[in-house]
Amino acid sequence: MPDPNPAVLDYLANRRSPGAKTFTAPVPDHDALVQILTLATRVPDHGKLEPWRMIVLDRAAMARLADLAEARALALDGDAEKIEKGRGQFDRGQLAVVVISAPKLAEKVPLAEQLLSAGALCMNIVHVATAAGWGACWLSGWPSHDATFRAQAFGCTPDETVAGIIHIATPGPLGPDRPRPDLSRLVSWG
């Protein structure tokens, strides 16, 4: 017979994603963040490849990346909305962990599974940070998908992508819950 963990089930049933725009200081200190990342790295990782790496962004790094996102947007097309969206999460960010998908050459471990491992790491960071009492929000945004920005900001090679930027700080007030998926439309049995 299964041995359910009601506390975990309750947490998952009630988990919500607070908006990173509402986050404030304080943020986890070094030791608290190391604990979050240590627990979060317990992800599916076929072949023990660790097909990802992480970069911790403090306020100084956020300011540098906001400027870099603006410069990149101006170089692309100068669109005011693109500039605001590019600068926005970095201007308002308190602390973030960037998860870089860094696939390895491994005949027995398909690329898709390596990419999913990086996504699982992002979700684990959100869960562990939330369980530790912090607000956590997984974002990306156009700069994360721009190869030039990724290379300049995070040292990404052409084979690396940003799986997510997880903002972690003191959460602000929660807004209303979003509609949840209708499983009858999405699940088939057979």
Q: What is the pLDDT of residue 131?
A: 94
Average pLDDT, the chain: 94
Q: What is the CA radius of gyration of the chain?
A: 18
**Sign for the pseudo-dihedral over CA of 150, 151, 155, 159:** positive
Percentage of the chain lying above the pLDDT 90 cut: 84
Alpha-carbon distance of 128 to 124, in angstroms, equals 6
- On the question of pLDDT at 46 being above 80, the answer is no
Domains and CATH numbers, the chain: 19-172 (3.40.109.10)
Average pLDDT over residues 50-67: 97
- On the question of pLDDT at 22 being above 80, the answer is yes
Q: What is the pLDDT of residue 35?
A: 98
- On the question of pLDDT at 52 being above 80, the answer is yes
Q: Rounded to whole angstroms, what are the CA distances from 43 to 122, 149, 150, 183?
A: 10, 27, 24, 26
Taking only the tens place, the pLDDT of each residue in 117-167 is 999 999 999 999 999 999 999 999 999 999 999 999 999 999 999 999 999
- On the question of pLDDT at 108 being above 90, the answer is no
- On the question of pLDDT at 11 being above 80, the answer is yes
Q: What is the pLDDT of residue 177?
A: 87
- On the question of pLDDT at 78 being above 90, the answer is no
For 122, the token pair is 């992002």
